[in-house]
Amino acid sequence: MAEFGDCADGDQMDDQAAIHVEDLHKRFGSMEVLKGVSLTARPGDVVAVIGGSGSGKSTMLRCINLLETPTSGRISIQGEAYDLRTTRSGDLEIADRQQVQRIRAHLGMVFQSFNLWPHRTVLGNVTEVPVHVLGVSREEADARAKAVLERVGLGDKLDAWPAQLSGGQQQRAAIARVLAVEPLAMLFDEPTSALDPELVGEVLSVIRALAEEKRTMILVTHEMAFARDVATHVVYLKDGRIEEQGPPEQIFGAPSSPHLQQFISSVT
Amino acid sequence: MAEFGDCADGDQMDDQAAIHVEDLHKRFGSMEVLKGVSLTARPGDVVAVIGGSGSGKSTMLRCINLLETPTSGRISIQGEAYDLRTTRSGDLEIADRQQVQRIRAHLGMVFQSFNLWPHRTVLGNVTEVPVHVLGVSREEADARAKAVLERVGLGDKLDAWPAQLSGGQQQRAAIARVLAVEPLAMLFDEPTSALDPELVGEVLSVIRALAEEKRTMILVTHEMAFARDVATHVVYLKDGRIEEQGPPEQIFGAPSSPHLQQFISSVT
Amino acid sequence: MTEGIDFSLLALDAPGWGGALLTGFLRSVELAVGGYALGIVIGIIGAIAKLYGGRVTRDLAEIYTIIIRAVPELVLMLLFYYVGTDLANRAMQAMGYAGFDVNGLTAGILVIGLVQGGYATEVLRGAIRAVPRGQIEAAHAFGMSPAKVLTRVTLPAMTPHAIPGMANLWMIATKDTALLAVIGFSELTLVTRQAASATREYFLFFISAGVLYLILTLVSNYGLRRFEKHARRGMDAAR
Amino acid sequence: MPDIDIATPLAPASAKTMLHGLRGFFLPHRIAMALIALAALAAMIAYMDWSWLPAYLPRLWSGLGMTMIMLVASVGIGFLFALPLGLAQVAGPWPLRWMSLGFCTVVRGTPLLLQMWLFYFGLGSLFAQFPEIRESWAWPYLRQAWPYGLIALTVSFAAYEGEVMRGAFAGVPAGELEAARAFGMSRGKTFRRVWFPRALHRALPTLAGEIILQLKSTPLVATITVTDLYAVITRVRQSTFLTYEPLLFLVAVYLCLSGALTIFLRWMENRIPSGG
Amino acid sequence: AETYKVGISAEPYPPFYQPDSQGNWSGWEIDFIKELCDRIDAECVVTPVAWEGIIPALNTGKIDMIIGSMGITPERAKQIAFSDKYYDTPTGVVALKTSDVQPTPEGVKGAYLGTQSGSIQENYVSQYFADSAADVRIYQTLDEELQDLSAGRIDAVVGDALAMQPFVDSDAGQACCEYRGAVENDPDVLGRGVGVGMRQDSTELLAKVNAAIADIRADGTYQKLSTPYFGDVDIFGE
Ligand SMILES: Nc1ncnc2c1ncn2[C@@H]1O[C@H](COP(=O)(O)OP(=O)(O)OP(=O)(O)O)[C@@H](O)[C@H]1O
Ligand SMILES: Nc1ncnc2c1ncn2[C@@H]1O[C@H](COP(=O)(O)OP(=O)(O)OP(=O)(O)O)[C@@H](O)[C@H]1O
Ligand SMILES: [Mg+2]
Ligand SMILES: [Mg+2]
């Protein structure tokens, strides 16, 4: 199992880290949403991020693949730091688009609101990236997509349009879309919010299998039981700061921060 | 506490029923999604609908307020049956729009995908219906909306646009939008999917308070603990049929159908 | 005014004007297709420049659309055909090359294309803005290059929003060809006017031209509706 | 999908920065552009022949007035017709749907010039044949040309904008309308409170273009003897035989009009940062 | 021999020039062009250009001469060079029989007048008649004016007497309207007849053209050209 620490761990650790975030700040207008978040995940780690609504979990994930440019901070993926430059107004901006693109291709993301492409069928959504970004052949991509969709239980919805899917089916399609890409690291934003307990168990086993292949995952979740079962490491975010982190046993068994204690006690 | 039965209960019971659904069928093209669902909820009842993804839960809710016209079946709200007529192609269609509109104004709905109106602020979303459907004065509606938003923890987001909200904030805004209407009966489609445990507890207490005011609720949920705590009655939907229903103690304590047993056992 | 209409005036052969009208019509279509295609290309570039470009690009695109849309096509045509070619000719002669003459068709396609491009920029910009942000973000998140995001997600997703506006532009393109009359290029409108005043049968020839235009519209409408249906498939249509 | 957000990730608040605050106007490249424009303007004023301008100024003013009346009236009235035309095609019962579809197709499918000509020379001279009409109070208006021009322009704008509104109505996500319906909003209310504002916002970028196109269609009224700005300019050209100066003047006026229009509509569009 | 492109208006102006459906142009001026070009020993290509763009076309070298019934006015003479006139016809007024319009400023008081856009008659009307007339309508073609006249929407048309003659003689014309005579001439406005337009630097060509026109007029060819179109009327004027 991996060790976790924050930014101070030095370079040697960084090299091995799959995802490394250092002193991340993000503000929207006058509101500071992230107030210095640091986080490291090594290959095979499953980091669960928990925290109240609006605490900045989604924003953090979106910063990691630079969908949101941080106000300040350093992010590196597989040891490679994003090349950001400071604009005249003092914000950061992307300096090297190619690099960002290259990194993103190895970083899968499941969105909180799924964001399926409505103009492609389920199968089309899943084969899109393999065929058009990774250059996999159409047949191979189709076969792989079918297998992945089968695995999430959508084998009979290949030709359905996203608008015809139930909420859970959309979420599973979004998960399948990421799995088909086989990225080295994955960001899941509440990947089980629309799923029933059976399917949650399914997703859990998928994530475990991925972790065994040494893929790295950061997942935001509201289901504490799920976090406890799946995570190698749990991070509790509170108002844009990491208030507590550690292995799940510690976080759920012996939380030290009073906020976290209250947060966990409210699990009904 | 209320009694539940299916359609055969006769007229006297129907009169008291807040929501009564009888032999509801719904097909999309060649696929039959609901295969004869019957359900009754009396004032003050909280009916939790559980079931696998794609089992037809959302479709059922959407049929109850006629967003989806059933293929066949009878639905009555507060003892008043929807006036439906059969088209030449054999489907049902709305015969009396005014009636549907009138009924809907007493039937709140929280959508699985929230469906906030992006062209209005959070406050605007919440006051929209009171002011423009119910004819409440602007000041009164504002005051009430602010109270409701405060209650769901969005007191500081009154002037934010939906697109600026986190997932959980959007969901809470959607809940507030319904609460502000004070409908007699409410339909919730996974109202806590994007909420953290603390907020789930919050919503739970809101629902309990509403039930005490003798309001009726049907809610779809994937969180079994939540269903157990909040429901007076639980319905297990499987492939478009009600496979089992009863009080929560029975459903979660001593499920008889093997499917349900498996479904519940997978709660991690 | 209309008594005794002589339909033999529409005959295809020599004394009749039918053949001339049809030739003019074909030339109009040729011009419209060329100009429209050029307009779409310019429009896509312009919309992207406006939405994603840097400050300078954005301002340049803004100036382009404001000016090109504000200037009447007739003026553009005059400026381009007379001043533009004159300057270009002089420049080339000064550099020792032979002069050249822009033919009417090229000038027409260029001017119509430039004008259409100005409008198309705005139509496409609006359509792109109508695409939910999440869908485009998802494409970025998978490491698609900007070009890929554009061709695989943004353009197909915005197509249904763009079609009505672009259909209008096509209708306008077919009729804008009339401004080529300024340089004496004989497309449908000019031929119609010539026929009308040569025979004094204004009513007959204007109606005939109207019918030709209408046929073109009906045919292209059919195509466009089918295309729109195709582009919209799977998307939830508001009822 | 829970929400629609049209702001694109890579260009945050693009147009907003253009309008908000004067600071945006004094970026170096903007100053450079402004200088170039000023230089060009100065060169035009200095080296071209503008001696005709004072003599024609009163006529130019009244021409501009006519152009503006034609534009504003036809856009205003035309838009009122465009709404039902667009809506009927999306949600109307079939007879209405086919009628509005037919109307839009025929009007958009034939040249405005031809329509104008039909209204004025066709319809207009038809009226003249009835003594009852010639004796009536309406004749002083019917013998004028501008009513026919206005009708033709209005009809044309209604048809083109109807098509745009059709697309805009069809593009509003169903979920937002469902939410309105689920709260018991009547069809009219759903339309007024949700469908229409959302569709309008979608149509705005195109609307500016359509209005400017309409501005450029107004010169066609000159062919049926209405003296608009373009007719005055033509008159200047034909009596002075200056090729470019009057046209450049026309361009300048049209530029001001459409620039003002663009800025106004862009402002409307940006008033709702998250709309779409 | 040299080759010249001779511009005419793409809008027909019968009987001076009009196309048939094959795009072949014929008419009095077309015959005149042939004759003129023979005399100056040149190949001429008749090039229809929209009236809007005809002066720019000349000045940018897309055509070399304009022989399209262009009146010689002082304003135009600032832009291009004109030969001597080769024809000249009076400006007259055709009016509704029911109206009492006369071809004088007082005679058009309260009347709706029609005139053709871009013509010398338009200039004349705006200078002499605009103040007293109720309204002046500017039409694109003479035909449209006459049509509106017979429909009774205007009271009188001010136009080229020669061009209006066929209408006045026609059944429709005789039913509604009559010729009320020519207006008082003002050469500064109505011009000094119709001439050949050339670039101002084409002095050599100008001399040759002037000589040729004089020749054509002098040796009777002019009469021969005109008879088929105008019979006995001499369109050269005084
Ligand atoms: N418009 C539609 N066209 C075709 N099929 C549809 C449509 N809407 C729903 N379905 C199908 O109907 C079935 C039931 O959908 P529904 O949304 O009711 O499921 P659900 O029980 O709410 O599932 P979830 O828990 O995943 O939200 C699904 O298989 C779905 O694919
Ligand atoms: N584009 C934006 N503009 C302004 N504020 C924003 C924007 N996006 C997010 N926010 C604010 O930032 C805060 C954090 O949002 P974020 O989406 O990261 O929360 P979250 O932790 O994911 O919450 P949830 O569990 O509800 O999804 C919220 O208060 C939200 O209102
Ligand atoms: Mg979130
Ligand atoms: Mg559902």
DSSP one-letter string for A98-125? HHHHHHHTTEEEE-TT----TTS-HHHH
Tell me what pLDDT residue A186 has. 92
Ligand nearest to the CA of B164: 2
Tell me what pLDDT residue B267 has. 66
Q: What is the pTM of this model?
A: 0.81
Confidence of residue A6 (pLDDT cuts 50, 70, 90): very low
Distance from CA of D195 to the nearest CA of B (A): 10
The beta-carbon neighbor of C134 closest among A97, A113, A119 is A113
Residue C74 has pLDDT above 80, yes or no: no
Of all protein residues, whose CA lies closest to atom 22 belonging to ligand 1?
Answer: B58
Sheet (strand B107-110) strand order: B107-110, B185-189, B216-220, B46-51, B233-238, B241-246
What atom in ligand 2 is closest to the CA of residue A52? Answer: 25
Of D206, D178, C197, residue with least CA distance to B69: D178
Decide if D257 is inside a domain.
Answer: yes
Contact of B205 with A64, CB cutoff 8 Å: no
Interior angle at CA D174, CA D173 and CA D179, nearest 5? 110
Helix (H, G, I), strand (E, B) or coil at D14: helix
Range of lowest pLDDT (A115-124, B3-12, B40-49, C151-160): B3-12
Tell me what pLDDT residue D5 has. 29
Contact of A190 with B167, CB cutoff 8 Å: yes
Kindly report the backbone phi and psi dihedral angles of residue D63, in degrees, each rounded to the nearest multiple of 5, phi listed first: -65, -45
CB atoms within 10 A of CB C224: 17
Encode D101-147 in three state secondary structure: HHHHHHHHHCCHHHHHHHHHHHHHHHHHCCHHHHHCCCHHHHCCCHH
Q: Who wins on pLDDT, B153 or D6?
A: B153
Tell me what pLDDT residue E163 has. 83
A185-210 burial, b at 16+ Cβ within 10 Å, e below that, comes to bbbbbbbbbbbbbbbbbbbbebbeeb
Tell me what pLDDT residue C10 has. 74
Residues of chain D above pLDDT 70, percent = 88
Using beta carbons and an 8 Å cutoff, which residues of E are at the interface with D?
55-56, 59, 75-76, 78-80, 112, 114, 117-118, 122-123, 126, 137-140, 144, 147-148, 151-153
Task: Write out the residue range of the structural domain in which residue D267 sits.
Answer: 55-271
Give, for D266, the enclosing helix (H) or strand (E): helix D245-271
Strand-pair category, E91-96 with E156-160: antiparallel
Of all protein residues, whose CA lies closest to atom 5 belonging to ligand 2?
Answer: B164
Give, for B260, the enclosing helix (H) or strand (E): helix B258-265
Contact check, Cβ <8 Å, A113/D9: no
Confidence of residue C5 (pLDDT cuts 50, 70, 90): low
Q: Who wins on pLDDT, D241 or C150?
A: C150
- What is the mean pLDDT of the segment spanning A182-195? 91
The beta-carbon neighbor of E14 closest among C14, C17, C198 is C198
Of E76, E21, E62, E53, residue with least CA distance to E196: E76
Give, for B244, the enclosing helix (H) or strand (E): strand B241-246
Supply the Cα-derived Rg of chain C in whole angstroms: 22
Phi and psi based region of residue E108 (left: phi greater than 0; alpha: psi -120 to 50; beta: remaining): alpha
Residue A64 has pLDDT above 60, yes or no: yes
Chain A's closest residue to D9, CA to CA, is A67
Decide if C79 is inside a domain.
Answer: yes
B197 at A interface, C-beta within 8 A: yes
Structure tokens at C196: 């009308």
Helices (H), ranges, E40-100: 54-59, 74-79
> Is residue B98 in contact with ligand 1, taking CB distance under 6 Å?
no
Structure tokens at E5: 């492109």
Q: Which amino acid is at E68?
A: G
Number of H helices, E strands in chain D: 14, 0
Contact check, Cβ <8 Å, E78/D241: yes
Distance from CA of D203 to the nearest CA of B (A): 14
Q: Who wins on pLDDT, C197 or D190?
A: D190
- Report the alpha-carbon distance of residue B234 to residue B251 in Å, rounded: 7
The one-character DSSP state at B215 is -
Contact of E23 with E46, CB cutoff 8 Å: no
Helix E221-230 × helix E28-39 angle, to 10°: 170
Residues of chain B with pLDDT under 50: 1-14
Interior angle at CA C108, CA C56 and CA D36, nearest 5? 30
- Report the alpha-carbon distance of residue E102 to residue E164 in Å, rounded: 16
Decide if D2 is inside a domain.
Answer: no
B212-233 burial, b at 16+ Cβ within 10 Å, e below that, comes to eeebbbbbbbbbbbbbbbbbbb
Q: What's C30's domain CATH number?
A: 1.10.3720.10
Tell me what pLDDT residue D20 has. 46
> Is residue B200 in contact with ligand 2, taking CB distance under 6 Å?
no
Kindly report the backbone phi and psi dihedral angles of residue E5, in degrees, each rounded to the nearest multiple of 5, phi listed first: -95, 125
Tell me what pLDDT residue D81 has. 94
- Report the alpha-carbon distance of residue D160 to residue D163 in Å, rounded: 5
Contact check, Cβ <8 Å, B268/A112: no
Tell me what pLDDT residue D9 has. 30
Give, for C134, the enclosing helix (H) or strand (E): helix C133-141
Interior angle at CA B240, CA B238 and CA B243, nearest 5? 40
Q: Which residue has the tokens 């007719």?
A: D231
Chain B's closest residue to A165, CA to CA, is B54
Structure tokens at A191: 């990947």
- Report the alpha-carbon distance of residue A210 to residue A185 in Å, rounded: 10
Q: Which of B246-250, C163-167, D256-260 has the highest mean pLDDT?
A: B246-250
Confidence of residue A106 (pLDDT cuts 50, 70, 90): confident
- The rounded Å distance from CA A189 to ligand 4 centre is 19
Confidence of residue C82 (pLDDT cuts 50, 70, 90): confident
What atom in ligand 2 is closest to the CA of residue A61? Answer: 18
Contact of D82 with C198, CB cutoff 8 Å: no
Chain C's closest residue to E49, CA to CA, is C184
Strand-pair category, E194-198 with E81-87: antiparallel
- Report the alpha-carbon distance of residue A63 to residue A78 in Å, rounded: 16
Contact of B218 with B19, CB cutoff 8 Å: yes
pLDDT digits (tens, 9 = 90+) for A228-256: 888 999 999 999 999 999 999 999 988 89
> Is residue B166 in contact with ligand 2, taking CB distance under 6 Å?
yes
> Is residue A165 in contact with ligand 1, taking CB distance under 6 Å?
yes
Q: Which residue has the tokens 């000249």?
A: E88
Half-sphere exposure of D270 (CA within 13 A, CB side): 15
- Report the alpha-carbon distance of residue A65 to residue A101 in Å, rounded: 9
Contact of B200 with B223, CB cutoff 8 Å: yes
Residue D186 has pLDDT above 70, yes or no: yes
Ligand nearest to the CA of B51: 1
- Report the alpha-carbon distance of residue C41 to residue C37 in Å, rounded: 7
Chain D's closest residue to A171, CA to CA, is D1
Contact check, Cβ <8 Å, D238/E59: no
Helix D28-47 × helix C55-70 angle, to 10°: 30
- Report the alpha-carbon distance of residue D75 to residue E203 in Å, rounded: 53
- Report the alpha-carbon distance of residue A46 to residue B49 in Å, rounded: 32
Tell me what pLDDT residue B201 has. 86
- Report the alpha-carbon distance of residue B24 to residue B21 in Å, rounded: 7
pLDDT digits (tens, 9 = 90+) for C96-146: 776 666 777 888 888 889 989 998 998 999 889 888 888 888 888 877 888
pLDDT digits (tens, 9 = 90+) for E204-236: 999 999 999 999 999 989 999 888 888 888 888
> Is residue B165 in contact with ligand 2, taking CB distance under 6 Å?
yes
Structure tokens at D211: 């209005």
Distance from CA of A115 to the nearest CA of D (A): 7
- Report the alpha-carbon distance of residue B74 to residue C159 in Å, rounded: 41
A113 at D interface, C-beta within 8 A: yes
> Is residue A56 in contact with ligand 2, taking CB distance under 6 Å?
yes
Kindly report the backbone phi and psi dihedral angles of residue A86, in degrees, each rounded to the nearest multiple of 5, phi listed first: -90, 130
Tell me what pLDDT residue D7 has. 29
Contact check, Cβ <8 Å, A197/B263: yes
- The rounded Å distance from CA D57 to ligand 2 centre is 59
- Report the alpha-carbon distance of residue D265 to residue D203 in Å, rounded: 11
- Report the alpha-carbon distance of residue A65 to residue A183 in Å, rounded: 13
Paired residues of B233 in beta bridges: B47
Count the domains in chain C: 1
pLDDT digits (tens, 9 = 90+) for D21-76: 445 556 777 788 888 888 888 888 888 888 888 988 999 999 999 999 999 999 99
Tell me what pLDDT residue D272 has. 57
Contact of D29 with C59, CB cutoff 8 Å: yes
Distance from CA of E72 to the nearest CA of C (A): 22
Decide if C8 is inside a domain.
Answer: no
> Is residue A164 in contact with ligand 1, taking CB distance under 6 Å?
yes
Residue A218 has pLDDT above 80, yes or no: yes
The one-character DSSP state at E71 is B
Which residues of chain D have a CB within 8 Å of the CB of A65?
A: none
Q: Which residue has the tokens 């976290």?
A: A260
Helix C188-199 × helix C18-52 angle, to 10°: 150
Strand-pair category, E65-66 with E2-9: parallel
Helix D146-171 × helix D196-217 angle, to 10°: 150
Contact of C77 with C183, CB cutoff 8 Å: yes
Confidence of residue C1 (pLDDT cuts 50, 70, 90): very low
> Is residue B56 in contact with ligand 1, taking CB distance under 6 Å?
yes
Count the domains in chain D: 1
Tell me what pLDDT residue A60 has. 94
The reply to whether ipTM tops 0.85 is no
> Is residue A28 in contact with ligand 2, taking CB distance under 6 Å?
yes
Decide if C70 is inside a domain.
Answer: yes
Chains linked to B by 3 or more Cβ pairs within 8 Å: A, D
Task: Write out the residue range of the structural domain in which residue C133 sits.
Answer: 21-232
- Report the alpha-carbon distance of residue E68 to residue E60 in Å, rounded: 18
Helix D53-91 × helix D94-109 angle, to 10°: 150
